[in-house]
Amino acid sequence: MSITFAFWNLEGLPLIGAMVRTILIITLGFPLLLVFARLGSSLIMRHFSEHLALIFRKFVTYFGSLLLIITILLDFDFNLSAILGTAGIASIAFGFAAQTSLSNFISGIFLLGEKPFEVGDIVLIDNTLGYVLSIDLMSVKVRTFDNLCMRIPNQTLIQTTFTNVTRFPIRRLDINVHVPFKEDIRRVFEILREVADANPYSLDEPEPLILLQEYGDSFFKIILGVWFEKSNFVAIKNSIMMDVKERFDREGIEFPVPHISLYAGDSTKPFPIQWEQVEKLQAGMGNRPVPAAKAE
């Protein structure tokens, strides 16, 4: 019995030839596929984005693995038409049950084309803030700041309003500052501007925003907005609030506290209230109430 090597064919030994080719596919085909996926994703990451690189790597790995498996099955003379026919019937039933998955897949393609965020961005979704870990065709995974992994279906992201906190290199931090009516508002503006200019994390351009937003019940409501690089969020939030408090203390400016003023009309004049503390109840008063306050 002669053995003739002609490309993939081993004449006379079809079963052994199929086994040899299967071993070659497993030992060479799959590793080469992974190397190609890795090199391709590296090039895409270098010229485009990590988002596209991740999608490319997964697509090449899954699709290439499927082709190699089909090649192995054909080598062993599997009847793929029967398998595909059965799979077609099953896919119809499966399609009705997988409508949500299909919707997530299509939404993932839209996210891939729109690119509202990338891996590593900080996003705010439904009052949850975290880093984007991965962007898949079915879902997006986010790591929150308390180190929890949150999986968000792509369909939810398409239908939900979310915020990309780190999309741009600089941001503005707005702080509400309440000042009593008795204070000189122009002097307060000058102090807040000096505090913003002195902060090491505050950018000179754009200039800080100082806005008298509205009148409160007993105070001015002022907004102090400072621009900063997105990586300095925690540092500037802590430092700018401490700087305002320390500067107000030095200037003698008090933060307002909630209080209520009672008004009984023009005919009634204000009268003082003097509180008296009864140190000892006299014997014989029994359970009769003891007046604790009187008007002068």
CATH of the domain at 179: 3.30.70.100
- Check residue 94 and give its pLDDT: 56
* Residue 43 is assigned to a structural domain of this protein: yes
User: Is residue 142 located within the same domain as residue 73?
Assistant: no
pLDDT by residue, tens only, the chain of 296 residues: 444 444 444 454 566 766 777 777 777 777 877 888 888 777 877 777 666 777 777 778 877 787 777 777 766 666 666 665 655 655 665 565 566 777 877 887 788 778 888 888 999 988 889 999 988 878 899 999 999 999 999 888 888 889 999 889 999 999 999 999 989 999 999 999 999 999 999 999 999 999 999 998 889 999 999 999 988 998 999 999 999 999 999 999 988 877 666 666 665 565 565 555 545 545 555 555 555 544 44
Q: Residue 206's domain spans which residues? A: 170-251
Q: What share of the chain is helix, strand, coil (3-state, %, to 5)?
A: 45, 20, 30
User: Is residue 155 located within the same domain as residue 191?
Assistant: no
* Residue 32 is assigned to a structural domain of this protein: yes
92 and 77 Cβ atoms separated by less than 8 Å: no
Distance CA 236, CA 227 (A): 9
- Check residue 10 and give its pLDDT: 47
Tokens 């084309």 belong to: 113
* Residue 219 is assigned to a structural domain of this protein: yes
Half-sphere exposure of 265 toward its Cβ, with a 13 Å CA cutoff?
2
- Check residue 271 and give its pLDDT: 58
Of 78, 103, 134, which residue constitutes the final position of a domain? 78
* Residue 94 is assigned to a structural domain of this protein: no
Number of structural domains in the chain: 3
User: Is residue 120 located within the same domain as residue 188?
Assistant: no
Burial (CB count within 10 angstroms: exposed 0-12, middle 13-18, buried 19+), residue 117: buried
User: Is residue 174 located within the same domain as residue 233?
Assistant: yes
CATH of the domain at 160: 2.30.30.60
Cβ atoms within 10 A of the Cβ of 224, count?
21
Of 132, 147, 164, which residue constitutes the final position of a domain? 164
Tokens 């009148």 belong to: 215
Crossing angle, helix 80-97 and helix 50-75, to 10 degrees? 140
User: Is residue 222 located within the same domain as residue 244?
Assistant: yes
User: Is residue 159 located within the same domain as residue 183?
Assistant: no
87 and 95 Cβ atoms separated by less than 8 Å: no
* Residue 48 is assigned to a structural domain of this protein: yes
Of 136, 164, 192, which residue constitutes the final position of a domain? 164
* Residue 71 is assigned to a structural domain of this protein: yes
* Residue 53 is assigned to a structural domain of this protein: yes
Counting every residue written for the chain, the total comes to: 296
* Residue 60 is assigned to a structural domain of this protein: yes
User: Is residue 152 located within the same domain as residue 191?
Assistant: no
User: Is residue 189 located within the same domain as residue 138?
Assistant: no
